[in-house]
Amino acid sequence: MAWLLALLVLAAGGAGAWYRLRARVLARHAAAPTSVASPAPKVAAPPPAVRPAALEPARPAEPVVKFAAPDVYPRPPASWLEAQVALARRGFSCGPIDGVGGAQTLAAWQAFQAQEGLPETRWLDPRTCAALPLEEPATTNHTVTAADLERLQPLSPTWLGKSEQTALEFETLLELVAERTRAHPRLLQKLNPDFDWERAAAGAVVVVPAAARAVPRTRAVALHVQLAANTLQAYDAEGRIIAHFPVSIARKVEKRPVGELHVTVVIRDPNYTFDPEVFPESAEGRELGRRLVVPPGPNNPVGVAWIGLDRTGYGIHGTPNPEQVGRTESHGCFRLANWDARTLLDLAWVGLPVYVDP
């Protein structure tokens, strides 16, 4: 029909009439809506999260702790790295310092809170941070010395080879610096991304945590091992925690002593007797069929300290693998990081009671 109308218009009024008609049609189409929009659906708001009253308060947005001048001390810690250093300086060990709020760090954090009568949290809350001020920066510089490099030596993979070494020393510079500064090797690599640990020379400088070994402020009257929590704590005569450590316990439940034990001997830098009967899984031990004595050193199986207990074969000792502390993997003894074992040496004495709870 549109073409017939166009012919009639052209016949009657020519091209001008046609353009006027076309303009009126286009105007009507422009004014009319091309489609009808459906009303926007109403979306119900999600229900508010239900948070039981027994849980900790909601975590605020980071940063949790603010301060005007980060280079002015004392001040509260503002990161887990700083909190770990501040805790370590007070005798609350987090295991290897790694800058992460993991299980061992939270255990030390909450032990400190319990000691100070603070609410238990799992984050850097302002009240706890205020009670845990940093007196000086959390990191410092370590200069590699010729003596450091001279200590390094390969570690034999066999028990017989270990028994023939003069000492079970550090194998690498990274291992040495990590133990000396209570640090996780990954943290040292993160703090020093361009440092060549395998080719470092004397005089090289690296950034490390500034967590010197805690000096016990008083005499310990008891040690308390909590098997379920994988922790060992030392108490003074007033019942205050003077040292807190993560600890490894026996893999087999029947190998875990429970009850009251006592310290019988305290030895710094001990040697170690390899007994094939204790390691029936060792093919080398079965072939040797005899005991071997391996020399002292940080890579000795019992680390740099042995604190014997009044149960045959049991003790508290260090370990050459601090990153594995806190697990249930020992043959029965209680393992600490070497730096924590050295701290405990200053607290332990023959006759010291050790209470082990399930």
Q: Are strands 249-250 and 328-330 parallel, antiparallel or unpaired?
A: parallel
Across the range 292-311, mean pLDDT stands at: 96
Q: Does the pLDDT value for residue 145 go beyond 60?
A: yes
Q: pLDDT digit string (tens) for 35-75? A: 333 333 333 333 333 333 334 444 554 444 554 466 789 99
pLDDT at residue number 197? 97
pLDDT surpasses 60 at 20: no
pLDDT tens-place string over residues 279-295: 888 999 899 889 999 99
Show the 3-state SS of the chain: CHHHHHHHHHHHHHHHHHHHHHHHHHHHHHHCCCCCCCCCCCCCCCCCCCCCCCCCCCCCCCCCCCCCCCCCCCECCCCHHHHHHHHHHCCECCCCECCCCCHHHHHHHHHHHHHHCCCCCCCCCHHHHHCCCECCCCEEEEECCHHHHHHCCCCCCCHHHHHCCCCCCCCCHHHHHHHHCCECHHHHHHHCCCCCCCCCCCCCEEEEECCCCCCCCCCCCEEEEECCCCEEEEECCCCCEEEEEECEEECCHHHCCCEEEEEEEEEECCCEEECCCCCCCCHHHHHHCCCEEECCCCCCCCCCEEEEECCCCCEEECCCCHHHCCCEEECCCEECCHHHHHHHHCCCCCCCEEEEEC
Of 151 and 23, the structure prediction assigns the larger pLDDT to 151
Tokens of 75: 């001040």
Residue extents of the structural domains in the chain: 80-130, 222-269+304-357
254 and 358 in contact (C-beta within 8 Å)? no
- Contact assessment for residue 97 and residue 211, using Cβ atoms and an 8 Å cutoff: yes
| Topology of domain 222-269+304-357, CATH | L,D-transpeptidase catalytic domain-like (2.40.440)
pLDDT tens-place string over residues 248-260: 998 888 888 899 9
pLDDT digits (tens, 9 = 90+) for 175-216: 999 999 999 999 999 999 999 999 999 999 999 999 977 777
pLDDT tens-digit readout, 92-121: 999 999 999 999 999 999 999 999 999 999
In this predicted structure, the answer to whether residue 274 has a pLDDT above a threshold of 80 is: yes
pLDDT at 96: 97
Average pLDDT, integer, range 223-234: 96
Mean pLDDT (the chain) is 84
The answer, yes or no, to whether residue 15 has pLDDT greater than 70, is no
